[in-house]
Amino acid sequence: MPELPEVQWTIKNVAMQSCGKQIANVEIYHPKLSIPEPQRFAALLEKRRIVEISRHGKWIIFHLEPKSAMLLHLRMSGRLAMLLPGDPLPKYCVAAFELKNGQRLAFSDARKFGRIIFTHCAKTYLQALGPDALSKQFRINYFQEMLRASRQKIKALLLGQRVVSGLGNIYADECCFAAGIHPLRQANSLRDGEIIRLYEAIQQILESSIALGGTSFDAVWTGGGYQKELQVFHRQGKVCLRCGETIQKIKSGGRGTHFCPKCQK
């Protein structure tokens, strides 16, 4: 699943070719993809201009004129690609946005879990989420307060998006390892020093991944080089690069969880 760094790279690649362009036509090929339903969604979006593209965690926000927004979530297998006039639609295409210059923005999604939402106020749909992990709103004092009040397992809290947005399975595992925290620890059991280490790990790892083009074992954006830096994710059975212990993988909440039993307590 694309997480914050991969979403950021997707935005970078799409924004260069779509910002400032008017949407001339919208085709939806999956009936459950959009809110509102496809015909109404297309009518609302057509003739609007893409002003800016930003993110909140894993959500991509297309800021439009007249003032409105399209929210897009790639979920498990979503991809965005800019097509030149005459290019065929990619396999598993669920939506295509034709721009006035003839280019098309294609949204393909093999599993069909992705979502697109038209709204006049993006905050309405994003208000239940925690702050973006790399935003100024994600402060250490806020993070400490939220963790002290939670009995959730720390990895489950990071994945839940309500405390902090943008982390998925890969970066939750990597951040817990970098901070020396077992992923099944209760959040309110973490000491102040551990919370600070985890906060700093989130910042540093996400920034480093963005700098290297994100992490992907099936990269759809330029780069995808951070997988070479992974310390625990998909390294079960291999030695820990820090201590030499064997990396383990367990199931927690239906998700594969990777950790070092010696480095993480």
> Helix axis angle, 192-211 relative to 4-18, nearest 10°?
40
Catalytic residue among 2, 5, 131, 183: 2
255 annotated active-site: yes
238 annotated active-site: no
Cα 263 to Cα 25, 180, 199, 235, 242, distances in angstroms: 54, 6, 18, 15, 8
Closest CA to 1 of 53, 57, 81, 63: 57
197 annotated active-site: no
Dihedral sign (CA 219, 224, 227, 233): negative
Closest CA to 231 of 222, 243, 221: 243
**Would you tell me how many other CB atoms lie within 10 Å of the CB of residue 26?**
23
58 annotated active-site: yes
Catalytic residue among 48, 55, 58, 155: 58
Q: Would you please indicate which residues are annotated as catalytic (active-site) residues?
A: 2-3, 58, 255
